[in-house]
Amino acid sequence: MFSTKGKVAIALGVVIIAIIAAYYLWPRPADPFIVSTTTSLYETGLLDVLKQRFQQTYPRYNVSFISQGTGKAIATAQRGDADMILVHDPVKELAFLEDGYGVNRKIIAYNFFIIVGPEADPAGAKGKTPTEALILINQAGEDGTALWVSRGDESGTHAMEQRLWAAAGFNYSGIRTGSWYFEAGTGMTATLQLADQKEAYTLCDMGSYLSNFVQGNIQLAKIVEAGKDTLNVYAAIACNPQTITSAKFDASLAFIEFLISDDVQDLLQDFGVSAYGEALFKPWIPMLTSGQDPALIQWVEDYAYFEGTECPTQYRYNAGDLYD
């Protein structure tokens, strides 16, 4: 028989074991973190799907998204109000890295920008190259027979538009003062709807166009199809915890690894196909590893690589096997 002291010791041991078991087995609240990202990913419904699948895979994390244009998305992260970014403007992304705000950039997906407009095509731009189309739209705008609606919000789409106007030989500061040129200052869906109402031309990403057209939100037609000059590349970047000390780096790294996983890349391959006839965002990793389209791979590398890589080594931090 146990002595009184022995019984007390046994009871105490049982209590201690119970406390330890409760500590490890009791459900804990998920650790929240924030991704600052673009309107196109949000408005097509992709982020909802990614959130659900990520939290099934990583139940310890609770991801939330702030959806806005790329310029604002980056500014949000720079203020410390987000833990990572998922955006589509390589020029701004490189500055984010160079200024010490970001690390561990990974390209996730791509699609293309297109120019859309009224079926009647008053500028006669259909089938032209982007620069040829913009020259014709400008001429028609000055003649009072065409209108243009811009995002006007420093988004990745707005940045691409400005590059295309420059490539067509125009000074953007002068273009935007034209009476035929309207700045929406809104997300992609609202911009498309405004262009539809005005029977105007606009630039948008293919995913947003297909989503809105098939749902009957707009009647705009494709005027300039996808091509090298309208490539649109999406990349994820973790906030640098050495600069933004509040950043939840481990959660961001887990989310980046999740985005480049076979599971998510397969999801992207199928996302939108049944509803819209093609994937809204095409996965980058299978394209790169298979090498099945060398020309397209070169386009992406020319447009969205820095120093021959998606993330130069000086901008990598505790990256593990992210670049193996």
Residue pLDDT, tens place only, 122-141? 999 999 999 999 999 999 99
Pairing of strands 31-37, 61-67: parallel
Per DSSP (E only), the strands in the chain are 31-37, 61-67, 84-87, 102-117, 148-150, 181-183, 202-205, 221-224, 231-239, 282-283
Q: Quick one: tokens of 263?
A: 């599971």
Give how far the C-alpha of residue 231 lies from the chain's centroid of Cα atoms, to the nearest Å. Answer: 13
Alpha carbon distance 163, 160 (integer Å): 5
Alpha carbon distance 61, 83 (integer Å): 13
Asked, colleague to colleague, whether 31-111+230-315 and 114-225 share their fold, the answer is: yes
The domain spans of the chain are: 31-111+230-315, 114-225
Q: With cut-offs at 50, 70 and 90, classify the pLDDT of residue 26.
A: very low
Tell me the CATH architecture of domain 31-111+230-315: 3-Layer(aba) Sandwich (3.40)
pLDDT tens digits along 203-250:
999 999 999 999 999 999 999 988 999 999 999 999 999 999 999 999
Does residue 311 carry a pLDDT above 80?
A: yes
Does residue 91 carry a pLDDT above 70?
A: yes
Q: Quick one: tokens of 279?
A: 């994937």
Tell me the CATH architecture of domain 114-225: 3-Layer(aba) Sandwich (3.40)
